[in-house]
Structure 1
């Protein structure tokens, strides 16, 4: 079981939970929430953003599995459902440069806000600007669709993703902790 939330609130909860149960509460992940209101100009690599389709499902299952193994192994059981729900909602996007090279999921999450995530680029396509371009284009698409802002979570242990998102224009808002219980 896990609990996550704003740092002060989640710490208060897990400390109270510990006092009541005596069980441990290891910190599983330190996250940061970022917000964007304007996409900053970036160097755009070759390729373009497109919706993921049912034909992409085998690739998406692999990439979502790879992302989950790398970033959040506790969610592996939800991969197929996440891909199928994303395809149905048309919220999965691919950056394609002759072939898919990066993915980002994004959708309107609140009346005036879009949420980005997950974002994944396979090892062989990293450091070429694909994820940056994918997230920037998707963020702009959401803004163009009436969102006043976009937000996403980053793992504080991953300086690359934090740098990429700040380059696009995402600014830190607050931190978020996830604890394992038991």
Structure 2
């Protein structure tokens, strides 16, 4: 039983294809990182069956996919998850992350607790919010880039400075929607990932504080979800922060159902 690592997306897919396809929803974090990850890994049992996967995001934060707790603990051994430098944060399904964190012997604290949802039957918001949804265009890039910075800060991430390229990619590919209020001004946004492994994931659901409480987030989320279904997405997913009961309730009203809980931890020191 061992972990293998590569920086080749093709090699990773060849080795872990069956495991990824068995549960693309629970492996969503890894699937959406494959083509831009700095490091990819898979855990093989004694008979060669792959039962665990991970991807290290460009920012250096490992995302643990579906794996056994044994595989997670093995990542703490020499030659495991660290590659010259111990990670400062790790995220993934709660049981795997806790198993890894405890095995490192390093002090850690929960950074955020998330819940993964999968869309069942899409239910339009009732009452419907005033306004309408539309795809974002190139003219919206400055506004959407500014909102993306605000969104990053709101969810506790470090502001990256310039999100122009980030949002231009999503807008040019027709993956970012806006909700326009009654006066025609954009008041909320949401985006969807590329389809990977039979799943897409909603993200960047954001409404500026001054526009909240009018149902705009529900409107744009329903619009993006419907667009994903119309485009043939087999599974539509999203993450919510468990500390935000408003968003958790909103998505469930729209037809999203819980799949599993995730945890991101921050390490606060060296091994004891």
Q: TM over 0.5, yes or no?
A: yes
Cα deviation code 1:14-62 (max 9, x no counterpart) = 1112x2xxx3211100000000032113222222221212211111121
Alignment of 1:5-20 (within 5 A): 5-17=92-104, 19=105
| Distance in 1, Cα, partners of 2:203 & 2:97 | 22
Unaligned runs of 5+ residues in structure 1 are none
| Distance in 1, Cα, partners of 2:111 & 2:243 | 11
Superposed CA RMSD in Å reads 1.6
1:68 equivalent in alignment to 2:143 = no
1:48 equivalent in alignment to 2:132 = yes
Superposition TM-score, scaled by structure 1 size = 0.90
Aligned twin of 1:26: 109
Aligned twin of 1:4: 91
Aligned twin of 1:106: 192
| Distance in 2, Cα, partners of 1:56 & 1:45 | 21
Cα deviation code 1:105-150 (max 9, x no counterpart) = 1134324322101200011111111100110111011111111321
Task: Report the number of matched residues.
Answer: 177
- Which of 216, 237, 251 does residue 130 from structure 1 map onto? 216
Secondary structure in 1 matching 2:203:
strand
| Distance in 1, Cα, partners of 2:120 & 2:198 | 11
| Distance in 1, Cα, partners of 2:180 & 2:169 | 21
Give 1:68 shift.
1.0
- Which of 228, 231, 234 does residue 145 from structure 1 map onto? 231
- Larger helix share, 1 or 2: 1
| Distance in 1, Cα, partners of 2:167 & 2:124 | 30
| Distance in 2, Cα, partners of 1:78 & 1:34 | 30
Aligned twin of 2:172: 88
Aligned twin of 2:245: 159
Give 1:84 shift.
3.1
Superposition TM-score, scaled by structure 2 size = 0.61
